[in-house]
Amino acid sequence: MNLHHALFREGALRRANNTQPAAGRPVPLSTAELSEGERRAWDTAVDYYAKKFAGRRLVFDEQLVQINNGLSGQRNPTKLHAPKLPTEIAQTLEQAAPVYRKHWWPAHDKANQAWIASMKPVVEKTGPEVVAQLEKLFKHRWSAPLPVDVAYFVAEIGFAYTTEHPGHTTMASSQPTLQGLDGVETIFHEGAHTLTGEVETALDAECKAQSKRCGDLWHALQFYTVGEVVKRRLKKDGVNDFTPYAYKYGLYGRREWPRFRKALELHWQPHLEGKTTFEDAIKRLVEGI
């Protein structure tokens, strides 16, 4: 899985000719230490990914979702076993694996394991209460355990994504915005993507009833709800300075989200405090935008 996501990222950077370091710009993996044969094998794999997946998204593309789900069950780090993987992709991974395993995997695996070790105790401690609150607020039960796979790179918006049927989350261990409590909130945010069906349906119906175009109000609501629930739970442990992800990283300053933020604070927050019903909060929220 880590190799697949590394190749996907490298392919995207190659398509963008993104080879020169610059402030805030991702830099391809350095191939300076590779032998001529290793560089040829690696370049062939990156070129394949660059062409094969041009313009395709990890979270929306059916084949990429199937690949990710298939590789999720891979437990042997030296022998690929993914029977449903397309032959060309399996061959590309097998040819590139010795290079990745030798030059980058030890550091990537170490980072992944450190990230997991930092997240797991906090998630286990806060999870039961956070999940119960999210189920109540979103009016949807968390029907099954959600696998969360960690890859060093995840070339998707936010460096994390969740697919459904079955639910499956993939997150990047290398991303600065996913460290510490920001990473904990994001784990719950990603999991909540499997809970928002009722909210999305209710918002869609109310937006149509009020003849309003609500855009991705549902996603702003999800960020707001998870952030507030996690903040409330952390406060019980004496964490009084936690800033939810959407506030901290400026999501409410983008596109139409400033008006979403105002409406959420005025009309959705009372629902989080148990002062209004789900239905009334949805109606007032849409009125507020």
Could you read off the pLDDT of 116-152 as tens digits, one per residue?
A: 999 999 999 999 999 999 999 999 988 778 999 999 9
Token pair of 242 as six digits: 């936690």
Question: Per-residue pLDDT averaged across 66-87, rounded?
Answer: 88
Q: Is 169 helix (H, G, I), strand (E, B) or coil?
A: strand
User: Does the pLDDT value for residue 8 go beyond 70?
Assistant: yes
pLDDT higher than threshold 90 for residue 212:
yes
Residues 140 and 248 in one domain: yes
CA quadruple 130, 138, 176, 112: dihedral positive or negative?
Answer: positive
Tokens matching residue 243: 């800033």
- Judged by DSSP in three states, 168 sits in strand
Residues 116 and 25 in one domain: no
d(CA 60, CA 163): 8
Q: Rounded to whole angstroms, what are the CA distances from 138 to 133, 134, 226?
A: 8, 6, 10
Tell me how many domains the chain contains.
Answer: 2
Q: Quick one: 135 and 186 in the same domain?
A: yes
Residue 22 reports pLDDT greater than 70: no
Residues 8 and 92 in one domain: yes
Which pLDDT value is given to residue 20?
55
What is the residue range of 260's domain? 106-144+175-289
Dihedral Cα 146, 148, 154, 157, nearest 10 deg: 40
Asked if residue 74 and residue 53 are part of one domain, the reply reads yes
CB 160 within 8 A of CB 169: yes
Decide if 38 is inside a domain.
yes
- pLDDT at 289 exceeding the cut of 70: yes
Once rounded to an integer, what is the mean pLDDT over residues 221-229? 98
What are φ and ψ of residue 195, in 5° steps? -115, -10
d(CA 180, CA 124): 14
Report the length, in residues, of the chain: 289
CB–CB of 225/265 below 8 Å? no
pLDDT digits (tens, 9 = 90+) for 261-288: 999 999 999 999 999 999 999 999 999 9
Same domain for 99 and 110, yes or no, is: no
Give the CA-trace dihedral at 60, 119, 249, 8, to 10 degrees.
Answer: -40
Q: Does 170 reside within a domain?
A: no
Q: What are phi and psi of 28, to 5 degrees?
A: -60, 160
Yes or no: say if 105 and 87 are a contact pair by the CB < 8 Å rule.
Answer: no
